[in-house]
């Protein structure tokens, strides 16, 4: 009876921690979904002007709560009179698209390479581990400069940069998890039963990594947004007429002293979304990692 009560006392905190992790994931997902819905749905209503429309008679107008601001441009205007609110919505749509696609192009090859290294071990693991170390040792900006200088500025080139700079961290994590999964009894039983190694990897190893991959994908979205913002700030990312939060931040650096709102709003948006995405990724990792749930 005493042992049963002790076991119950041990299980109850675990259930509470699991419930807290699920609650954290839910509440962190809500603002991200709200932001995504806003930048997708609001342009369809026709309430916002063209984000690239210029009004040279109304440049650098302040937000509505400052002297001289009007409700026609609630967040003010840019250097060429563009409505900042419209640019924030259009830029958010492109920034989130780049973040999601950039995460996918990094997670896909990174997961596959990490699983191969973690499952086959031996010389395969040694070679891939050295490639991962070499990739992580290179500053992403050098890779970006080399690729963009050779291929030019475009979204496909940007996604190539995100793939080449993002696969290594994903591969390192999935390699570690795959090494742990391959030692489980059901995998040993499959090998003893004569199951082929590709079948074990694709039908059993990778499905057991889904939780980790989803969490890594969430973290990689934030990384992709930061990389795009950094490249756009340096003039190597999104170029006009396309608009992104990073491009808006770059456009506002010249007028910070007399029109701070041009750079403030995209800066707040980038910081908020990246923070929420990273917190969500950490919550997902905690929820899907049994070792962390026991702490």
Total Cβ atoms within 10 A of residue 202: 13
pLDDT in the model for residue 97: 93
DSSP code at position 202: I
pLDDT in the model for residue 289: 59
pLDDT in the model for residue 76: 86
194: left (phi over 0), alpha (psi -120 to 50) or beta: left
pLDDT in the model for residue 274: 92
Does the CA dihedral 113-115-121-126 come out positive or negative? positive
Question: What tens digit of pLDDT does each residue of 30-51 get?
Answer: 898 999 999 989 888 877 888 8
Residues of the chain with pLDDT under 70: 1-21, 287-295
- What residue spans define the domains of the chain? 2-46+92-293
pLDDT in the model for residue 294: 46
Out of 3.20.20.100, 3.30.1360.170, 1.10.3720.10, 3.40.50.300, which CATH number does the structure's domain 2-46+92-293 have? Answer: 1.10.3720.10
pLDDT in the model for residue 73: 85
What's the pTM value of the predicted model, to 2 decimals?
0.84
């Amino acid at each position: 009876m005493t042992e049963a009560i002790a076991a119950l006392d041990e299980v109850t905190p675990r259930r509470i921690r699991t419930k807290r992790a699920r609650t954290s994931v839910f509440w962190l997902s809500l603002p991200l979904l709200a932001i995504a819905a806003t930048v997708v749905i609001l342009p369809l209503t026709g309430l916002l002007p063209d984000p690239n429309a210029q009004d040279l008679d109304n440049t650098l107008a302040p937000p509505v709560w400052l002297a001289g601001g009007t409700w026609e441009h609630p967040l003010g205007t840019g250097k060429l009179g563009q409505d900042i609110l419209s640019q924030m919505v259009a830029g958010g749509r492109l920034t989130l698209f780049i973040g999601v696609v950039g995460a996918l192009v990094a997670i896909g090859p990174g997961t596959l390479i990490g699983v191969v290294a973690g499952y086959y071990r031996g010389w395969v693991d040694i070679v891939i581990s050295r490639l991962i170390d070499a990739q992580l040792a290179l500053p992403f900006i050098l890779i970006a400069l080399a690729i963009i200088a050779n291929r030019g500025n475009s979204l496909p080139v940007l996604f190539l940069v995100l793939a080449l700079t993002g696969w290594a961290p994903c591969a390192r994590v999935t390699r570690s998890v795959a090494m742990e999964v391959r030692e489980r009894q059901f995998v040993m039983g499959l090998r003893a039963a004569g199951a082929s190694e590709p079948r074990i990897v694709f039908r059993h190893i990778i499905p057991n990594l889904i939780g980790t991959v989803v969490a890594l994908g969430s973290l990689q979205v934030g990384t992709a947004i930061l990389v795009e913002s950094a490249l756009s700030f340096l003039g190597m990312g999104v170029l006009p007429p396309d608009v992104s939060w990073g491009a808006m931040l770059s456009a506002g650096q010249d007028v910070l002293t007399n029109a701070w709102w041009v750079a403030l709003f995209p800066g707040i948006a980038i910081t908020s979304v990246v923070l929420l995405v990273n917190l969500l990724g950490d919550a997902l990792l905690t929820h899907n990692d049994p070792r962390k749930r026991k702490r």
